[in-house]
Amino acid sequence: MNATLPVTNEEGFYEIRLESIGGLGANLAGKMLAEAAVLHMGFNGANFASYGSEKKGTPVKSFIRLGPPEIKLRTSAPVERPHLLAIFHEALIRTGDPAGGIYPNSVVVVNTARSLDELAQDLKMTSGTLGVVDALQIAVEEKSRINTVMMGALTRASGFIDPEAVKAVIRSTFERKYPHLVERNLRSFDRGYEELELKTLGDGTGEGKPYHRPAPKWGYLNAPLGGVVADPGNSMLKDLSASREGFVPVFDREKCIDCGQCDFVCPDYCFVWEQGTDKKGRPAQRLVGIDYQYCKGCLKCVEACPVPGALTEARETAELVASRRVPHRFVHAERVIA
Amino acid sequence: MAVAEEALREAGRPKQKVDFLSGNEMAAVAARQINFHVMGYYPITPSTEIAEFLDAMKAEGEHDIVMIPGDGEHGAAGICYGAATAGARVLNATSANGLMYALEQLPVQSGTRMPMVLNLVTRSISGPLNIHGDHSDLYFAIHTGWIVLLARDPQAVYDMNVLAVKIGEHPKIQLPVIVAYDGFFTSHQKRRVQYFEDPQVVRDFLGERHQEFTSVDPRNPVSIGPYMNEPDFINNKYQLKLAFDEARRVIPEIFAEWGKLTGRHYPILDTYRMEDAEVALFLVNSAAETAKDVADALREEGIKAGVISPNVLRPFPAEEIRRALKNVKALVVGERADTSFGEDGSQLTHEIKSALWDDRENKTLVLSRIYGLGGKEFYPEDARALFELAIETAKTGKVEKPFDYLGVTPGDPEKTPVRVVDPLTKEEVNQGLVEVTKNEETGRLEVKIARPRELTARPKRILSGHGACPGCGIFSGVDTFLKGIEGDVVVLYQTGCAYVTTTGYPYSAHRVSFIHNLFQNGAPTLAGALEAFRERQRRGELPPDDELTFIMITGDGGMDIGMGSALGTALRNHRLIILEYDNQGYMNTGAQLSYSTPYGHRTSTSNVGSVGRGKTFHHKDTAQIMAATRIPYVFTGSEAFPQDLVKKAAKAQYYATHEGTAYGKILISCPLNWRSEERLGTKILEAAVNSCFFPLYEVEQGKTTITYNPEDREKKVPVSEWLKMMGKTRHLLKPEYAEMLEEIQREVDFRWEQLKAKHASPIL
């Protein structure tokens, strides 16, 4: 083994964390990067992911821990202080704290179409190295997934992972079952590697960012006995918008005929109706809009809508969603805040 | 010198491959190399992957293990038991409630002395339901007469799986063996590992399976499992005890033999820096490894710290523990399960204390702490906290608090849950959007429903914010059904996607009264709630004018493992509704086949490969099975035909209010595991109906009526039109699958024609 780790923690490990949502291939990316480092570069290592009842679209983390070959790898705890951090999905910055735990000299790579400065601001990152790459755009162009693009970017950002080792793993991962995917994923990897833009922030000193372990909302003194949820319906407080992968339905009140078909097919109950009147002035239900806080962007409603233009698909922007969201009216979020 | 000797020995050993695999992968690698005859299994997280990996290998022809998906863990254990009686090498894998459901079978297996291997991927037992790793299942398993080996990391999973076969089959032992390792921490974490390149090395190490008595030897017939009275029964158990005595002697020999072959040596009790330790921790599996790092750190601080952790839990290494603790001043036993509530100290604490009692010289002070329940992480600082307890105790020579929990949160007693969504009012739930009347002449129900537009006024019983995948068909399907239900409801969700995604604590997306129970038992649970409600109402304890409709929501998986109890409930004809959402697989655990998965479809346990061709048998016709119980109402439905479904919901409610059980199956889309486009969910369901794979019909008072006939509307399409829309079935359209496709069409046509005959005849 020739490569050495650029930096290690007290236990002697270099640690990587990939922050994503289920379905973007972060797990596979973590596995392939770790495999390259362990099987091709001779490091000792571990790779695992956060597990729960995760479904597609919910936050997921993949962890890699690398050390020199002679080191005993014993801990199975998640990576809280990553030397290298990837954010596969920009929306996570809005709904969570994906960069929690970075050191002042950590390297952070974000999948985004926006600029380094904008991202530094969003992440409130003042120290370390920040990288951006438009992985979604590259993946669309190469007909691949963003994970191999991110792997290219991370490989370069790491400064020590051998790109040839990772490419060998990509090849062996895809060639048996999906041979047609090999070339496009290798191209995606290369483009991620090449198109990553890096910027050094600050002087690498300071504290970095603290990591917050999730704490229980209720404890043994105040949790209702037996695990009962005494305030059901509180799922309405959640923000599911990070589940979307870039597309939303857009509603045009002018064209809508209030047929109700969208309401039958929406899995997330995003359509907001009110009692109004029909064209003849009789009392009737009227569709007011979409509550984007819960919309996961499946677009089933666009397929179900019988009227051209009443529900259409659009590329999501923060402005579009903010300006057009119609919130459900039966939620008393203020009660919790107060 | 020692290094040189080791290198020499290494040179003589069979070649091993270095790989990067998880515990579950290593269990599968070992199984492939052992080439068990039979694996009986039922998917349960986190053990499921073992069967998935083995099925994927089998699809490529890499082993000959007969893989049999049981109808539940109890059934899977039966498959394993039967195979063991036939002299086979047998494998199973389970976790948590899977073990609990099979528990009855474990003493049967050991008491009749049938060796097999069970990978117990440890996980906390429900309830509340939790899928993560602790040792509560293991603590039940150790009372069943099985040898229990522990695997602390993925490498040990491989080693112990091979060793388990050899130990269990040893002529002096003849016992089933559990290999237990930590769910997720070990099962899902990839590490650098080694295994033999040539599986023959493993097979030679094990030799041929030999069983003196089998169930399949007609020239030497024996009666296995006779009824046994006293005075014999006690002798059978004594034989079992003797086998464990033998195991104490045999296991170290077999471990040593494996050590010579692999270079990996396992003591019965792993002792780390215990030679001169004054303070020590006792921990099981992965947590012990974390504690070793902390012991190293403490040693650097001048504290004589050590860690002990067993590699074999049954037989219990009492002698080894006495030896290791000879001069230890204070020991903290960390336990990842509290199964001895009220006893102040969980299982192993008492076993260790009991072992020490037999050494009257021993002065070790023992403390017990519960940690890491439900998969709560065990960080180095947690190990340090336990060590500090031991250090303090050693210093003072006094046990301040013999038993406690580590890592619990008090919470603020001033803070209580606040409703952010008000409960539905009587007016809100009774809007008269559907009307059902009985036609006294025909005896049949007539249903009027509001226009779809007006149905949107029905408040949702499930709310937004649930964590289902984008495009999940459960929630559109179930809500469309609920649009046809007037009034107040009590819902029971069996374990499955709909349950898990709506109730991650402390959240709940259910606006109405909700119960969960495990999916073997939802229907009886709801029946119990219903009958109690009525009786309490009759006694005047509940308002007489309250009307509740009881609805169970289950997946098709729940109607496999819970089929028996659902049938029992239907036969008793309780006034409730069972609604099954069928997404053709166990999607909550990662898309394993269910009995409702259609023939040829790809799932994670019916893989497609050079040999594997998808599911090997046709889908279960649950609606017809339920109809055979003669309950008053059975229906099928789909969100693709919403008015049809809403009407059927209204009828189901009428029957469940007035007559007895109603059952309905709705087909719903699962874009993730069907490998289909999220937006096309409704269209795929429409195609399934129009291909007559999923006909829309009802069986009302025994009379079958097709409620939508695609032939009459000239909408009928061949099944290929439906199958081409999903990635999980795309292979079926390839020329090499032509015969299978034809077989699917034949079966669909046959069931459809049979249904039409029933529709046409009042007596069928």
- Residue A204: its pLDDT value, please? 79
Residue B386 tokens, joined? 């336990």
Q: Do A218 and B511 touch (CB under 8 A)?
A: no
Residues 6+ apart with CB under 8 A from B257: B205
SS3 category, B118: strand
ipTM (interface predicted TM): 0.96
What CATH number has the domain spanning A230-337?
3.30.70.20
Q: What are the tens digits of pLDDT across the range B704-717?
A: 999 999 999 999 99
- Residue B222: its pLDDT value, please? 97
Contact residues on chain A for B452, CB-CB shorter than 8 A = 259-261, 263-264
- Residue B190: its pLDDT value, please? 98
Nearest to B236 by CA among B373, B107, B343: B107
Residue B400 tokens, joined? 């301040």
Q: What are the tens digits of pLDDT across the range A326-337?
A: 999 999 999 886
Average pLDDT, chain B: 97
Nearest-CA distance from B467 to chain A in Å?
Answer: 7
Does the model's pTM come out above 0.90?
A: yes
Q: Do A222 and B412 touch (CB under 8 A)?
A: yes
Q: Which one of A31, A38, A74 makes the best mutation probe of the B interface by having the most chain B beta carbons within 10 Å? A: A74
Percent of chain B with pLDDT over 90: 96
Confirm whether B588 is domain-assigned: yes
The CA distance from B437 to B8, in Å, is 88
Confirm whether B410 is domain-assigned: no
User: For B61-79, what is the mean pLDDT?
Assistant: 98
Confirm whether B529 is domain-assigned: yes
The residue range of the domain holding B67 is 18-210+231-262
Contact residues on chain A for B195, CB-CB shorter than 8 A = none
Please determine, for residue B80, whether its predicted confidence score (pLDDT) is greater than 70: yes
Q: Do B411 and A218 touch (CB under 8 A)?
A: yes
A92: left (phi over 0), alpha (psi -120 to 50) or beta: alpha
Range from A210-224, B247-261, B687-701 carrying the lowest mean pLDDT: A210-224
The CA distance from A123 to A208, in Å, is 12
- Residue A52: its pLDDT value, please? 65
Q: Do A273 and B457 touch (CB under 8 A)?
A: yes
Q: Do B380 and A34 touch (CB under 8 A)?
A: no
Nearest-CA distance from B309 to chain A in Å?
Answer: 14
Contact residues on chain B for A172, CB-CB shorter than 8 A = none
Confirm whether B428 is domain-assigned: no
Residues 6+ apart with CB under 8 A from B235: none
Q: Do A220 and B417 touch (CB under 8 A)?
A: no
Please determine, for residue B1, whether its predicted confidence score (pLDDT) is greater than 60: no
User: For B373-393, what is the mean pLDDT?
Assistant: 97
Given a contact cutoff of 8 angstroms between Cβ atoms, the answer to whether A69 and A1 are in contact is yes
Confirm whether B425 is domain-assigned: no
Are residues B376 and B341 part of one domain? Answer: yes
Contact residues on chain B for A48, CB-CB shorter than 8 A = 22, 184, 188-190
Q: Which one of B121, B416, B456, B685 makes the best mutation probe of the A interface by having the most chain A beta carbons within 10 Å? A: B456
Q: Predicted confidence band at A205 (pLDDT cuts at 50, 70, 90)? A: confident
Q: Is residue B315 reached through a cis peptide bond, with omega within 30 degrees of 0 on the bond before it?
A: yes
Q: Do A74 and B453 touch (CB under 8 A)?
A: no
- Residue A337: its pLDDT value, please? 67
Are residues B275 and B258 part of one domain? Answer: no
Q: What are the tens digits of pLDDT across the range B113-170?
A: 999 999 999 999 998 999 999 999 999 999 999 999 999 999 999 999 999 999 999 9
- The secondary structure of residue B462, as a DSSP letter, is B
Q: What are the tens digits of pLDDT across the range A54-105?
A: 578 889 999 999 999 999 999 999 999 999 999 999 999 988 899 999 999 9
- Residue B6: its pLDDT value, please? 67
Are residues B399 and B465 part of one domain? Answer: no
Are residues B507 and B394 part of one domain? Answer: no
Q: What are the tens digits of pLDDT across the range A150-185?
A: 999 999 999 999 999 999 999 999 998 889 999 999
User: In the CATH scheme, what architecture does the domain A14-201 have?
Assistant: 3-Layer(aba) Sandwich (3.40)
**Who among A31, A77, A226 is closest to B190 (CB)?**
A31
Are residues B394 and B535 part of one domain? Answer: no
Q: Do B378 and A77 touch (CB under 8 A)?
A: yes
Are residues B391 and B450 part of one domain? Answer: no
Range from A165-179, B268-282, B639-653 carrying the lowest mean pLDDT: A165-179
For chain A, the domains span 14-201, 230-337
What H or E segment, with its residue span, contains residue B495? none
- Residue B3: its pLDDT value, please? 58
Please determine, for residue A251, whether its predicted confidence score (pLDDT) is greater than 80: yes
Nearest-CA distance from B504 to chain A in Å?
Answer: 8
Are residues B640 and B509 part of one domain? Answer: yes
Give me the CATH number covering residue B200: 3.40.50.970
Are residues B129 and B69 part of one domain? Answer: yes
Are residues B357 and B457 part of one domain? Answer: no
Residues 6+ apart with CB under 8 A from B599: B614, B615, B616, B617, B618, B619, B740, B743, B744, B747
Nearest-CA distance from B461 to chain A in Å?
Answer: 9
Contact residues on chain A for B380, CB-CB shorter than 8 A = 75, 77
The CA distance from A218 to A216, in Å, is 5
What H or E segment, with its residue span, contains residue A187? helix A182-195
Confirm whether B763 is domain-assigned: no
Confirm whether B748 is domain-assigned: no
Are residues B253 and B336 part of one domain? Answer: no
Q: Which of residues 275-314 of B touch A (CB under 8 A)?
A: 286, 289-290, 292-293
With CA atoms as reference, the chain A residue closest to B481 would be A264
End-to-end Cα spacing for chain A: 59
Number of domains in chain B: 3
Q: What are the tens digits of pLDDT across the range A47-66?
A: 999 976 557 888 999 999 99
Are residues B274 and B241 part of one domain? Answer: no
Q: What are the tens digits of pLDDT across the range B328-363?
A: 999 999 999 998 898 889 999 999 999 999 999 999
Q: What are the tens digits of pLDDT across the range B168-220?
A: 999 999 999 999 999 999 999 999 999 999 999 999 999 999 899 999 999 99
Helices (H) and strands (E) in chain B, counts: 27, 25
Are residues B592 and B456 part of one domain? Answer: yes
Given a contact cutoff of 8 angstroms between Cβ atoms, the answer to whether B605 and B557 are in contact is no
Residue B483 tokens, joined? 């649009």
Please determine, for residue B10, whether its predicted confidence score (pLDDT) is greater than 90: no
User: For B18-41, what is the mean pLDDT?
Assistant: 98
